[in-house]
Structure 1
Amino acid sequence: MRLRLLVTLTAVVAVLATGFGAGDSLAAPARKSVDMPIIDTGSTAGEQLAPNSIFLWQNPGARYIVVLGAQMGKFGQTPQILNQRLNTASKLGKQHPFNRMIVSGGNTWWLPVSEAQFMNVGLLRRGVPPWQMVNEGKSTSTVQNASYTVGMLKAMGANGALIVTNGFHMPRAIKDFRDAAAKQGARIEFRPAYA
C-alpha cells in the first residue's frame, strides 16, 4: 500500500513539475478568500446565458459535467485534445460551482495513475476545486466511459449531463452515452459541450 501511494505521489509530482502545455490556461483570477469560490456566470449584463449554462443552472444537484479522457503520453504528457477538454471543463466548472464534474478515463499504459487522476491535476491547476470532481477511473474506451459513468450518474440521482469532448468525438460519445442510459434504464438527458 505504501509503495502504491509513493508511486502515485511521484507521478502527480512529475505531472506538476512538467509545467503547462500549449493549451493550458493560467487565467484563473486571484482569490482573496478561500471561503467562497468565484462564480463566473459566463455572461455580461444584458446578455443571455448560453443553452448549456441554462441547462446546468436549472437543477445543479442533478445535472453533471462529464469530461472524457484521452490517452496520455508514455511519460504522462497531456495530449492537446485533452488540454482542450480540460480548458472547456474548467470554464464550465467555474461558471457552475454547484454542478459536480465526473472525469472519466482509466488505463494510462504502464503508469500507476489513471487518466481521471491526471485530469484531476489538470483541473486543479485550472482552478476547479477538488470537491467538485468525481472520478471514474476504470474505463479504457468510449463505450466503457459511457457505461461506467451512466451507472454513477444513475446512482447519484442525475437527470442530465453535459458531455465534454472534441467535435470529432462528440457524435460517437453522445450515442454511446444514450445507448448506455437506455440499457441501464436511466432517464438521463445528455447534451454536447464542445471542446
Structure 2
Amino acid sequence: MSRQPIFNVPPITMWLSVVLVAVFAAIHLLPETLWGPIINRMVVVPVYFEELDRWTALDALTVISSLVFYAFIHVEPIHLVANLGFFLAFGSVCERQFGKRRYIVLLLATTVAAALVQVAASWGQEIQLYGASGAVSGCIGAFCRLMLATHDPARRRLAMNLIGFTVIANVLFALLGGGLMGLDAQIAWQAHIGGFLAGILLGTPKRA
C-alpha cells in the first residue's frame, strides 16, 4: 500500500512557504544588526522610485529588485499566518493547474504588479511595502478565473463569492487600515487589488 503525504502541497508552494517562515524566524531570532540592512533593501519604498535618477546603478538595481523581494518579508505573526493560509490553499491549486513554469510566471507577475500599483498609489511617500499579499491575491484572482471558466454552477458561484469577498475586504482595509486584523500598521489594499486583477488576467485555463 502506497503512503500518502500528510500535507498534499505541490513543491514550489511548499518551498516558498518554508522560505517565508525562515525569513520571518530570522527577523525575530537574529540581531537586527544582521538582518536590518538586508531587509531595508528588500522592502518597496515608493519615494525611492521617484528618485531613481539620483541613485547609483547598483542602488537603482536594488530598488527595482525590491519589486520582487519585498514579498518574502513578514514582521507580524498574523500577517504571515494569513498569507501562508491563503497561499497554501490557492497557490497549491494554481500550481497544479498551470504547471511549474507558468505558476512561477504568475507569482512573479502578480508580485511585481501589486508593488507597482502600490508605488503609483503612494508615489513620493516614504512608506514600506512588504509581505506576500500581492502574490497571494494574484493566486486568488487566478483561481477565480479558473472557476469562472468551468460549466459548474457551484464553482462559478464560489468564484463570484471570492471576488465579492476580496472587494469588500479591501474596502474595509482602505477604511479601517490594519485595525481590522489587529495590526498597528496600514494595509496595502491597493497592492492587493493590483495583484488580484493581474491574477485574473493571467489565470486563463489550459487549452484542452
User: TM-score by structure 1 length?
Assistant: 0.31
Higher strand share: 1
User: TM-score by structure 2 length?
Assistant: 0.30
